[in-house]
């Protein structure tokens, strides 16, 4: 099994289709008592002592625990990457932060099969992106899942010079973990070894107040 370019783009298999939180109530009762009347009379004065009712206090909601995928099953409670505030600005720092965020969304797709977040920020004309999404979607259907494939970006740089067509170029060093493909019966279908770190060139445009990826291509040579 081989990896193409900077992130895996394996063909999908044939036939692939697309707290309770407890509330603890501490209830206190009411005490009543009596005592003989003065002068040794037999009268008894009933006395009720009010007590402060405990307020219902909900226990804190435990955060869902992230569990990475392994041979026993797919990843659980995978946190969705959050776009940094700086990545919303048309600045050098903003563009570099956005590029890192984009690859985090790509990595999220390998763990979950959810490609909507990255698709919303990427042109369908990006061939490498579409191939990666096919793998992510295909291997998270009919009980299948992926293990590994996490993508990181050790280095992201841009000269922040806009071309006449409105695109900015971003050079990204991409690192991806080995990837294993599991069937619904928990059998291992195949594996892709960890590819060598590679360089990718992103063409990104800033439009309507946000960044949008036109394409991602390998840097050759």
**How does strand 31-36 pair with strand 44-49?**
antiparallel
Neighbours of 17 (CB within 10 A): 8
Tens-level pLDDT at each residue, the chain (221 residues): 444 455 765 655 544 333 233 323 332 343 444 443 444 444 444 444 544 444 555 565 667 899 999 999 999 999 999 999 999 999 999 999 999 999 999 999 999 999 999 999 999 999 999 999 999 999 999 999 999 999 999 999 999 999 999 999 999 999 999 999 999 999 999 999 999 999 999 999 999 999 999 999 999 86
What is the secondary structure of 175-210 as a DSSP string? EE--EEEE-TTS-EEEEEPPPPPEEEEEEEEEETTE
The whole-model pTM stands at 0.76
């Amino acid at each position: 099994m081989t990896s193409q370019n900077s992130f895996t783009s394996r063909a999908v298999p044939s036939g692939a289709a697309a707290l309770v939180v407890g509330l603890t109530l501490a209830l206190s009762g009411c005490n009543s008592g009596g005592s003989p009347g003065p002068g040794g009379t037999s009268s008894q004065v009933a006395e009720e002592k009010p007590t402060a009712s405990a307020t219902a206090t909900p226990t804190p909601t435990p955060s869902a625990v992230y569990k990475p995928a392994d041979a026993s099953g797919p990843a659980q409670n995978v946190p969705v990457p959050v776009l940094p505030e700086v990545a919303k600005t048309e600045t050098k720092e903003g563009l570099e932060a956005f590029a890192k965020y984009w690859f985090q969304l790509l990595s999220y797709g390998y763990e979950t099969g959810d490609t909507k977040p990255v698709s919303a920020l990427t042109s369908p004309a990006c061939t490498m992106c579409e191939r990666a999404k096919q793998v992510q979607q295909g291997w998270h259907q009919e009980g299948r899942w992926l293990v590994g494939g996490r993508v990181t970006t050790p280095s992201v740089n841009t000269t922040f010079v806009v071309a006449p067509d409105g695109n900015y170029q971003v050079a990204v060093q991409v690192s991806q973990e080995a990837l294993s493909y599991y069937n619904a019966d928990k059998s291992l279908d195949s594996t892709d070894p960890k590819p060598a770190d590679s360089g990718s060139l992103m063409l990104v445009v800033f439009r309507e107040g946000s960044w949008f990826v036109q394409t991602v291509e390998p840097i050759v040579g």
